């Protein structure tokens, strides 16, 4: 799987949009960009994924650059409960494939 690079930490004010960047310059054509988050002492939670088009669901939006070498996860109205470590992973789309986690971004939402 392609390696990803994320900032180690970010802060965001409650109610504002949180924009989390991820670089994946070596991504292959058949690899998707996945985002997960992990709230303290819990298992990782799926957020969103995409291939090349921008995606939006009830949790977040995913913006992927045209060259697919980077992406941004957007939490439109961050709440205190969004405080977590966010992981960006690139992988082929196959249910039984192992996920390799990087260090992620520790996002702190401040009141």
Instruction: List the one residue from 4, 36, 84, 105 that touches another protein (CB under 8 A).
Output: 36
Does the protein bind another protein through residue 86 (CB under 8 A)? no
Does the protein bind another protein through residue 8 (CB under 8 A)? no
Closest CA to 34 of 45, 18, 19: 45
Does the protein bind another protein through residue 94 (CB under 8 A)? yes
Does the protein bind another protein through residue 13 (CB under 8 A)? no
- For 1-111, where are the E strands, in sequence order? 9-13, 18-23, 31-38, 45-50, 55-56, 61-64, 70-75, 84-92, 105-110
Residue whose CB is less far from another protein, 33 or 109: 33
């Amino acid at each position: 799987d392609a390696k990803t690079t994320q900032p180690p930490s970010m802060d965001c004010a409650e109610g504002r949009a949180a924009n989390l960047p991820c670089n994946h310059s070596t991504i292959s054509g058949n690899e998707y960009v996945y985002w997960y988050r992990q709230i303290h002492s819990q298992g990782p939670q799926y957020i969103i994924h995409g291939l090349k088009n921008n995606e939006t669901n009830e949790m977040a939006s995913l913006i992927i650059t045209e060259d697919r070498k980077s992406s941004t996860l957007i939490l439109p109205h961050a709440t205190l409960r969004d405080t977590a470590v966010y992981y960006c992973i690139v992988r082929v789309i196959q249910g039984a494939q192992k996920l390799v986690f990087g260090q992620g971004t520790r996002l702190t939402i401040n009141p």
